[in-house]
Structure 1
Amino acid sequence: MRTPKPQTMKPQTAAKKLGVLLSATPAEFQEGDLSRTELNDLQENPPEWLAELRRNGPHPRPEVARRLGVSTSGLARNGVTEPLTTAQIKALLEEMPPWLEAERATHAQVRAEEARLKAKRREQA
């Protein structure tokens, strides 16, 4: 009886699941596929390079959007297409340009409406 081959994922997928920018990861991470066991181990016991990336960036767009409290579409609408570091994100939050304030308000409204609809569906069920 053969033992099943472990399921693997490409480095891009693993980086996405870890919430880091693939191009900022070490070469050995970028070059080989990862098994689910290896991914779980990275999540539970992150090596220093992963902890540093999560702490200081550069961060991928979904993480930048989450930290700024806006949508990824909101970033694109305002020309933020490059990865940002934690320091750049903090600077934007301190500066609070008008576009960021408007996008945060829009994002909050969308979230509130989604929550309202979800509650309404729960009531009806």
Structure 2
Amino acid sequence: MPNGNILVAEDDSVLREIYRKKFSISGYTIRTAANGEEAIAAIEEQAPDLLLLDINMPIIDGFGVLEKYPKDQRSFPVIMLTNFADERNKARGEELGANDYFIKSDMTMRKLLEMVENLMQAKKYWAKG
């Protein structure tokens, strides 16, 4: 049985494939989107259990996606993905309801997998209550 359904919204095709492979190997069902517009369409088709959301994407950026799905109106946690350790971006993501923030250049896939597993466990716990 899969560990959950993750939507990866990332415009970098190499990173998108790395995330897809790593999380598939770890037992997750993975869907991908190359921009914010595709991410919104994928969410409308089927809400994910967790969204990995790049900030800097074409058409609609990650913040635009978060604005469409406020934290109190969505059923899934969000980890923002970025190349920059910019406090303004982090603060904006938090304001829009991101659950965590992953700086691609500073962290490992192991750390990202840990973040995902922690949020998935928390989601299961709160769903029971």
| Higher relative helix content | 1
- Normalised by the shorter chain, which TM-score bucket? under 0.3
| Higher relative strand content | 2
Give the number of the structure whose alpha-carbon radius of gyration is greater. 1
